Amino acid sequence: MTMEPTTLCKDCLNFGQDPALLTDDLNYTLKPTSLDLRKSARNGCPSCKAFLHHIEDQIARSWTKEAMGEGPIRIKAWPYPEGLGECIVQISRDGEGLQTTDFSFSISMSAGDPGSEDTRTRYRCVEPHSGSAACTRRISDLLNMCQQDHPQCASLVQDAHLPTRVLDLTLSSPDVLRIFETKGQQIKAPYVTLSHCWGKFDPTKLILKEGNLAELTTQFAYNRLAPVFRDAVDLTRGLGLRYLWIDALCIIQDSKLDWAAESMLMASVYAHATLNIAAASSPDSNTPFLRPRTFTPDVHLPFTSTQTGKKGTVALRPLYQNSDNVVGHLGQPLQSRAWCFQERILATRTVFFDDDLFLWECHRGYIPENLASITSLDNFHYGNRSMFPYNKPSRIVASSPPATVRDAWGALAEHWYKCLDEFGLRRLTYTDDALPAMSAIAEHFGNLTKDSYLAGIWKSELHRGLLWQVTDLREQDAIRSSTAPSWSWASLFHDSGSFMSSVLLQPLRYHATSDNDAQLLDVKLDPIHGNLIGQMRRASLHMKGLTKTIILNSKPNQGFNTIAWIPTSQQFELSICLDDDFFFSTCNQSFQARVEVLAFFLSQWNYNYHFRDVVVFGLLLTPATNTRNQEFVRCGTFEVKPGPRDEKELAEHRQRASRMQKLNPRKESFEGIWDSWDWRNVVIV
């Protein structure tokens, strides 16, 4: 990337000559006043024009809308250990520099720039087109680096076998390709996978069906592919790889048997791929991901190396655009799709094509296109969402192999529930797909923990896993799935609600095992396609536990509601959270007094929760309709906390709670709470 010197003003030409550019001593005066900057921009200096645009844009984005100022414009830089880093464009508002408005910019260079041979930068220039040869070359370099320098990543794919079907891209002409079937052969070869959004149904899109299988396994024209699929073919070829797996073309779409068989292999397909291409910015298969970028051009300034005298160009870009491009990754269309979530978790390496940059992710870390070096995946969060929680499970187990199932969950429980929470933020076209869309992740965790998966709940995590909540659903969405039992989170999964995989997740609390804990007597699973991690025709938990009939005497609201003080030798506060389908069908419209539900105690947990250290959790059950043997369905959850001991303490409790003040936590027993509860065997379906 080079600049024509005659198009730049004198001040921009001299910027790169400052010997302090590589140090924190840089204090370069770009223009005497902001009026001079505007004049230079009008006179045609492209760098001044870009500077002015970015400064005005940052002012518009600022909540203060602070004026630019009319004083001198100075550029102050500070380097990073890896080289040139960032700078501040500082505009004086008082003429003396005591009051300034600051604008942060990153300093970057292109990989092929002559000046980059002996000048390192923290940031890299972003290519104007994601399908450029330079972009493909950078991805190829990252792939080679990962293969050579990341032994854990390499070990996960080194013995990879081809999936049942792949696209073979190396026929005699680049205009044709075919679907290659392995037919049960164990063929070792590297292959690439594609993660993409299907979008709305398009009858013209080429997909694999029973009727065209023979044709597509012979050969077909490249131009028959949807644009996203063509881009994936082009990138795979550009990386020098032969085989590509795309679900739409490698699974027979009108065969339930093939779907059932291939869905059981999904974890292996993505985990063993050499690279996963994620068309993150494409909302459907007709929107290509290799396309011109839409960002505003950077500020380009000439640069002369103080060591060799080689001339090059540095690019200044508003720093918020760098951070927005990473954080904005969460807002890409692909990141909203539930089906695509497991593809990201399981893939060893993924390159995401966002709107204005690509982002590389592997087990070692991530590298946005605009950064020069890898960054650790750990502790990278945006709000309450972790951007990269996904590859940790296998890393943790690999570093310290667990001796027992319980040991495995001690290390992995947090990651499972975080995965469920992230999955719950995503959309599913069909609610009945909730279990299949998590099946590959479930298989992955099952391989790590050696635990039994019970329609979305792990057997060793039963007392915690059953306490999921889905609240705030719209009434039209509060419909139970027909392919998951009521006790599974998958039965009420919908993106319109607030999904919490477990009320015990933040923070993880300690299970205070006692003789009163509910006991699992038996589990019966009847999978639709014979897949124990997929959809269920019927599933039931046979349990024994303490129960008590609770009468709803007042109309509850959605979410948690305090409904009763259980009268025993000590007062206890009981709160409930009704599942939304039960709330809308029973309590919302025509609430009648004395609605009865069965409280089924699960377990007791120790942690500092609001006012006390010990809390009891359980399920709310209601008789199932059209079933045998007095079976129950889940209709909510409850918690019990020790209540005030007398009327005086009750008044004090209510007064302090209304002011949102915490009572001093004290350890209290649950002595007396079980006096009116009865042991009972229940079947939950």
CB-based burial, 211-221: b 16+ in 10 Å, e otherwise = eebeebeeebe
* Residue at a domain's end among 307, 323, 339: 323
* Lowest pLDDT segment from 150-164, 414-428, 429-443, 552-566: 552-566
Which parts of 491-538 fold into alpha helices (H)?
A: none
d(CA 359, CA 35): 39
Tell me how far apart the alpha carbons of residues 355 and 129 are, in angstroms, rounded to a whole number. Answer: 11
Q: What gap in Å lies between CA 407 and CA 465, rounded to an integer? A: 17
If you average pLDDT over residues 638-661, what whole number do you get?
A: 58
Task: Confirm whether 141 is domain-assigned.
Answer: no
Whether omega before 393 lies within 30 degrees of 0, making that bond cis, reads no
Which of 245-254, 414-423, 507-516, 582-591 reaches the highest mean pLDDT?
Answer: 245-254
Region of poorest pLDDT, from 215-219, 286-290, 304-308, 350-354: 304-308
Instruction: Count the helix, strand and coil residues of the chain and give each as a percent rounded to the nearest 5.
Output: 30, 30, 40
**Is the model more confident about 77 or about 220?**
220
The residue whose two tokens read 């377990």 is: 603
313-352 pLDDT, tens digit per residue, is 888 888 766 554 555 676 788 888 888 888 888 898 999 9
Distance CA(198)–CA(253), nearest Å, equals: 13
Q: Is residue 564 part of a domain?
A: yes
Please check whether residues 440 and 575 belong to one and the same domain.
yes
Residue among 548, 552, 525 at smallest CA distance from 538: 525
- Token readout for 156 is 């996960």
Residue 148 within any structural domain of the chain: no
Distance CA 455, CA 537 (A): 11
**Residue 557, number of CB atoms within 10 A of its CB:** 10
Looking at the chain, the whole-number percentage of residues with pLDDT higher than 70 is 76
Q: Indicate the average pLDDT of the chain.
A: 81
Q: Mean pLDDT throughout 621-645?
A: 81
Cα gap 174→197, rounded to integer Å: 25
Query: Among 61-65, 310-314, 412-416, 533-537, which is the least confidently predicted range?
Result: 61-65
Average confidence (pLDDT) over 425-447: 87
Q: Give pLDDT, residue 605.
A: 80
3 state DSSP class of 561 = strand
Most confident of 429-433, 443-447, 486-490, 648-652: 486-490
Spatial separation of the C-alpha atoms in residues 81 and 565, rounded to whole Å: 62
> Average pLDDT for residues 654-665, to the nearest whole number?
44
Residue 667 has pLDDT above 50, yes or no: no
In a domain, 410, yes or no: yes
Place of tokens 């009847």: 526
310/423 same-domain check? no
Query: Residue 326 CB: number of other CB atoms within 10 A?
Result: 19
Would you state the pLDDT for residue 620?
Answer: 94
Domain end (from 323, 342, 364) = 323
Residues 308 and 425 in one domain: no
Q: How many domains does the chain contain in total? A: 2
For the four alpha carbons of 281, 287, 288 and 293, in that order, the dihedral sign comes to negative
Instruction: Please indicate, yes or no, whether residues 639 and 547 belong to a single structural domain of this protein.
Output: yes
- Do 300 and 426 have their domain in common? no
Query: pLDDT tens-digit profile of 120-130?
Result: 777 888 888 99
What's the pLDDT at 384?
42
Same domain for 591 and 450: yes
Contacts of 521 (CB under 8 A, 6+ apart): 542, 543, 544, 681
- Higher pLDDT among residues 227 and 506, named by residue: 227
What residues contact residue 636 under an 8 Å CB cut-off, 6+ apart? Answer: 576, 577, 578, 579, 582, 597, 619, 620
H or E element: which one contains 623? strand 612-623
Whether residues 417 and 515 fall in one domain = yes
Do 448 and 306 share a structural domain? no
Residue 483 shares a structural domain with residue 597: yes
Q: What's the pLDDT score for residue 130?
A: 95
Task: Flag the least confident range among 99-113, 400-414, 509-523.
Answer: 400-414
Q: Specify whether 312 is located in the same domain as 406.
A: no
446 and 593 together in one domain: yes
Per-residue b or e along 133-160, where b marks 16 or more CB atoms closer than 10 Å to that residue's CB: eebbebbeebbeebbeebebbbebbeeb
Residues 386-404: what's their mean pLDDT?
A: 51
DSSP state letter for 272? T
Beta strands in 450-553 (DSSP E): 453-454, 457-458, 469-471, 498-500, 510-511, 519-527, 536-552
| 163 closest CA partner among 84, 21, 271, 3 | 271
Measured CA distances, 355 to 228, 359, 659 (Å): 14, 11, 47
**Predicted confidence band of residue 679 (pLDDT cuts 50, 70, 90):** very high
In a domain, 85, yes or no: yes
Q: Give the pLDDT confidence score for residue 668 in this predicted structure.
A: 46
| Lowest mean pLDDT, pick from 458-472, 521-535, 586-600 | 586-600
The answer for residues whose C-beta is within 8 angstroms of residue 211's C-beta and 6 or more apart is 254
Q: Which domain holds residue 85?
A: 5-128+295-323
With a cut of 70, say whether residue 672 has pLDDT above it: no
Q: Is residue 134 part of a domain?
A: no
Residues written for the chain: 685
How large is the average pLDDT for residues 544-556? 81
Distance CA 50, CA 56 (A): 10
pLDDT over 90, % of the chain: 35
363 or 38: whose pLDDT is higher? 38
Question: Do 315 and 407 belong to one domain?
Answer: no
pLDDT digits (tens, 9 = 90+) for 138-180: 999 999 999 999 988 888 888 889 999 999 998 878 999 999 9
- Looking at residue 497, what is its pLDDT? 64
**Residue 55 belongs to some domain of the structure:** yes
The pLDDT of residue 122:
79
Residue 596 lies in a domain: yes
Please state, as a whole number, how many other Cβ atoms lie within 10 Å of the Cβ of residue 591: 13
Q: Is the per-residue pLDDT at 270 higher than 60?
A: yes
Which residue is listed with tokens 């079947």? 683
Beta bridge pairs of residue 83? 80
DSSP-based three-state secondary structure for 615: strand
Q: Is 530 left (phi over 0), alpha (psi -120 to 50) or beta?
A: left
Q: What is the pLDDT of residue 504?
A: 67
